[in-house]
């Protein structure tokens, strides 16, 4: 295990730290408003109508564009409207949304994936589960995960980004501490899909508990865990590749152009859920902190 770095970067103090890296379940909302243009690609087309009862994880909108992923209900209940509403976007414009009123049951739709013996599944089947489960990059860009994995050739290294360099955010730290087995198994799934010779999980050097948790479950010789100094912007893809592999991504180029694929650690865990159980991505861990928060937490 090495401690890698890159030139430059800024050390930023966390002004509102989370006291413990635990995970608290948020209460079910009375209703959810789900925009149909929330991901890259065309606006999704509703496959439910007003008055329909839906289950958590049920597909409620999709598009014929293979590049896109379907949208799933994040609660169980009744569809009460399909109309244009103001969405959380800097434009302040309206976009078509599906509003679901909760029945308070959080009753899930049935689904089944490859199971824990996932290595018997071929790459195409795994990628199909990843798409149908609505998996997108959870590092910020929201790029469809299946599109990043399809047709990969000449990939020698898979990098799992667990650096989380933005000040105040600790959700990936909590994920690695509480779900290390799923993260490691997710890495094994990605290795199976992309055919890389090795995988590197990058963790900042202030996340010792997360590092220890991953080491406890990492028994695959193709997977290594390397520490990165805690500074901004260590999580930027090109800088991370430079720090770990000493490879420069050319201007306008992509990581795969140099035989490297990067995935966020939360995306990796979501891919595990998708392939093993075909579980849709309808929730994620977030850090709630700031001067107006009495008890910062994940």
pLDDT at 260 over 90: yes
Q: Determine the pLDDT at residue 294.
A: 85
The band of 1, judged by pLDDT with boundaries at 50, 70 and 90, is very low
Which tens digits make up the pLDDT trace of 190-229? 999 999 999 999 999 889 999 999 999 999 999 999 998 8
DSSP H/E element including 60:
strand 59-62
Judged by average pLDDT, the poorest of 71-75, 182-186, 241-245 is: 241-245
Contacts for 188 with CB less than 8 Å, ≥ 6 apart: 119, 220, 223
All structural domains of the chain, each given as residue ranges with its CATH number in brackets, are 31-102 (2.40.50), 118-277 (3.40.50.11540)
Residue with tokens 């006291």: 19
Neighbours of 122 (CB within 10 A): 12
Whether 23 contacts 172, CB under 8 Å: no
Give the strand order in the sheet containing 157-162: 223-228, 198-204, 157-162, 260-264
Give 3-state DSSP helix, strand, coil % of the chain, rounded to 5.
25, 20, 50
Say how far residue 126 (Cα) sits from the centre of its chain. Answer: 16
pLDDT at 262 over 50: yes
Q: Give the span between the Cα atoms of 87 and 81, in whole angstroms.
A: 15
Which tens digits make up the pLDDT trace of 4-21? 555 655 566 665 566 667
Q: Determine the pLDDT at residue 6.
A: 55
Which tens digits make up the pLDDT trace of 155-172? 999 999 998 877 788 899
Q: Residue 28, class by beta-carbon neighbours within 10 Å (0-12 exposed, 13-18 middle, 19+ buried)?
A: middle
The band of 295, judged by pLDDT with boundaries at 50, 70 and 90, is confident
Q: Determine the pLDDT at residue 5.
A: 55
Kindly report the pTM of this predicted structure.
0.92
The band of 273, judged by pLDDT with boundaries at 50, 70 and 90, is very high
pLDDT at 267 over 80: yes
Please give the span between the terminal C-alpha atoms of the chain, in angstroms, as a whole number.
28
Contacts from 179-184 at CB under 8 Å and sequence distance 24+? 179/269, 180/210, 180/213, 180/214, 180/216, 180/217, 181/217, 182/269, 182/272, 182/273, 183/214, 183/217, 183/265, 183/268, 183/269, 183/272, 184/214, 184/217, 184/218, 184/220, 184/223
Which tens digits make up the pLDDT trace of 104-135? 999 999 988 888 888 889 999 999 999 999 99
Q: Give the span between the Cα atoms of 186 and 167, in whole angstroms.
A: 26
- 271 against 111, higher pLDDT: 271
Q: Determine the pLDDT at residue 235.
A: 76
Closest by Cα among 45, 285, 283, 281 to 146: 281
Q: Give the span between the Cα atoms of 221 and 291, in whole angstroms.
A: 44
- 298 against 19, higher pLDDT: 298
């Amino acid at each position: 295990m090495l401690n890698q770095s890159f030139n430059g970067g800024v050390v930023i103090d966390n002004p509102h730290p989370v006291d413990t890296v635990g995970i608290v379940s948020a209460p079910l909302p009375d209703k959810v408003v789900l925009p149909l243009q929330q991901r890259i690609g065309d606006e999704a087309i509703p496959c439910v109508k007003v008055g329909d009862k839906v289950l958590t994880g049920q597909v409620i909108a999709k598009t014929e564009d293979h590049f896109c992923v379907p949208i799933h209900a994040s609660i169980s209940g009744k569809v009460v409207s399909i109309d244009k509403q103001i969405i959380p976007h800097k434009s302040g414009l309206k976009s078509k949304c599906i509003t679901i009123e909760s029945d308070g049951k959080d009753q899930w739709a049935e689904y089944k994936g490859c199971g824990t013996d996932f290595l018997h599944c071929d790459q195409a089947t795994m990628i199909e589960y990843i798409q149908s489960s609505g998996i997108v990059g959870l590092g910020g860009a929201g790029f469809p995960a299946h599109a990043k994995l399809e047709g990969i050739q000449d990939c020698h290294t898979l990098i799992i980004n667990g650096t989380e360099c933005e000040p105040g955010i600790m959700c990936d730290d909590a994920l690695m501490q509480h779900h290390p087995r799923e993260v490691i198994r997710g890495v094994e799934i990605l290795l199976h899909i992309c055919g890389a010779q090795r995988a590197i999980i990058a963790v900042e050097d202030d996340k010792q508990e997360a590092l220890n948790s991953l080491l406890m479950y990492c028994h695959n010789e193709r997977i290594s865990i390397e520490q990165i100094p805690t500074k901004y912007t260590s999580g930027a893809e090109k800088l991370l590749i430079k720090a770990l592999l000493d490879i420069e991504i050319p201007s306008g180029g992509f990581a795969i152009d140099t035989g490297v694929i990067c995935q966020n650690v939360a995306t990796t865990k979501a891919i595990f859920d998708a392939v093993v159980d075909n579980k849709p991505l309808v929730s994620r861990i977030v850090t709630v902190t700031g001067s107006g928060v009495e008890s910062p937490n994940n």
